[in-house]
Amino acid sequence: MSAAVADKQDAAGLAWFESRRRLWATLYVPLTVFVVVLLFPFYWMTMTAFKPDAELLSRDTNPFWIVSPTIEHFVKLLLHTSYPQWMWNTLVVSVLSTCGSLVASVLAAYAIERLRFRGAKIVGLAIFFAYLVPPSILFIPLATIVVNLGLFDTRWALILTYPTFLIPFCTWLLMGYFRSIPYELEECALIDGATRWQILVKIVLPLAVPGLISAGIFAFTLSWNEFIYALTFISSSEVKTVPVGVVTELVEGDIYHWGPLMAGALLGSFPVAILYSFFVEYYVSGLTGAVKE
């Protein structure tokens, strides 16, 4: 009897060991590697932003740690460059282009998914394919249009061109979310005499808030980090955005001001990180389609 109990205990202990080992192999180790690989660039950026130039150029100090932290790079960035103006330009351009793109995407996605006109699926597919066209090809004809309209070297050049890649993506994302909203709700409203506009404003949009936030976060992030259009359509320092201003103004020939460069990248990543942290629940539900029948 005691031998049987001992065998059961040994089997249970072996099973526990095997389960723990399997858990480490399938979850903890891959998750640790993923987190390290993902967060190491931010760690290195933070270390470089607070390191004095003497430590940055010295080979005797530990490259993964700071001996004497300093904020001189942030002082130089904020007081001796146009970084505050770059940040303001980026914010204005991102907010306006995101809002305009969301308005157009809501109307397009609702029309394609709910009005059921002939060729709706083809139109939806064409909009998605438009998103796949790389900006490195589009900026060439867009440059001619921007110059002819007299918008070159202005914020409006970016505000009006960013929707060319924001609207297709947001429309495709909202089409999937609108598809998850029960159509019976709209049929009941139509029976009660509601117009399509009233249905969109009073029924669909309140239910689609997670999808709208998800599309808005994506659009804002793409606008905030966009580089090619901002580099092509803007030349004056006071009109540049953060991605372009940091790279073009803090690199002088073959001299890289690594401290201010990393400080600018660190400060420039805060708005997007804060946005994600506040709306992460809506962001996830918007991707999964939270409205169920």
> What is the chain's mean pLDDT, rounded?
82
Best-predicted range by mean pLDDT (58-72, 115-129, 137-151): 137-151
Query: Does the structure show a pLDDT above 90 at 58?
Result: no
Q: What percent of the chain has pLDDT over 90?
A: 18
Give the confidence band of 12 by pLDDT, cuts at 50, 70, 90: low
8 Å CB contact between 161 and 233 = yes
Which residue has better confidence, 274 or 4? Answer: 274
Q: Domain extents for the chain?
A: 2-57, 72-288
Q: Which of 220, 89, 115 is CA-nearest to residue 166?
A: 220
pTM for the whole thing?
A: 0.80
- For residue 98, what pLDDT is reported? 94
Burial pattern 202-233, b for ≥16 Cβ within 10 A else e, equals ebbeebbebbbbbbbbbbbbbbbbbeebbbbb
Place of tokens 């090809």: 137
Cα-flanking dihedrals φ and ψ of residue 134, to 5°? Answer: -70, 140
Measure the CA–CA gap between 275 and 217, rounded to whole angstroms. 7
* pLDDT tens digits, 119-135: 777 887 888 787 788 87
Best-predicted range by mean pLDDT (57-71, 97-111, 117-131, 264-278): 97-111
- For residue 289, what pLDDT is reported? 52
8 Å CB contact between 153 and 233 = yes
**Mean pLDDT for the stretch of residues 79-89:** 91
Give the confidence band of 90 by pLDDT, cuts at 50, 70, 90: very high
- For residue 1, what pLDDT is reported? 47
Give the residue ranges of DSSP H helices in 51-82: 53-57, 72-79
Q: Which of 45, 44, 51, 56 is CA-nearest to residue 66?
A: 51
Q: Which amino acid is at 30?
A: P
In CATH, what number does 72-288 get?
Answer: 1.10.3720.10
* pLDDT tens digits, 200-223: 888 888 888 888 888 898 899 999
- For residue 18, what pLDDT is reported? 58
**Mean pLDDT for the stretch of residues 169-191:** 85
Measure the CA–CA gap between 82 and 92, rounded to whole angstroms. 16
- For residue 93, what pLDDT is reported? 95
Give the confidence band of 287 by pLDDT, cuts at 50, 70, 90: low
Q: What is the DSSP letter of 251?
A: E
8 Å CB contact between 272 and 221 = yes
Length of the chain: 293
Give the confidence band of 293 by pLDDT, cuts at 50, 70, 90: very low
Give the confidence band of 14 by pLDDT, cuts at 50, 70, 90: very low
- For residue 132, what pLDDT is reported? 80
DSSP run (H or E) holding 255:
strand 255-256
Give the confidence band of 240 by pLDDT, cuts at 50, 70, 90: very high
Q: What percent of the chain has pLDDT over 70?
A: 89
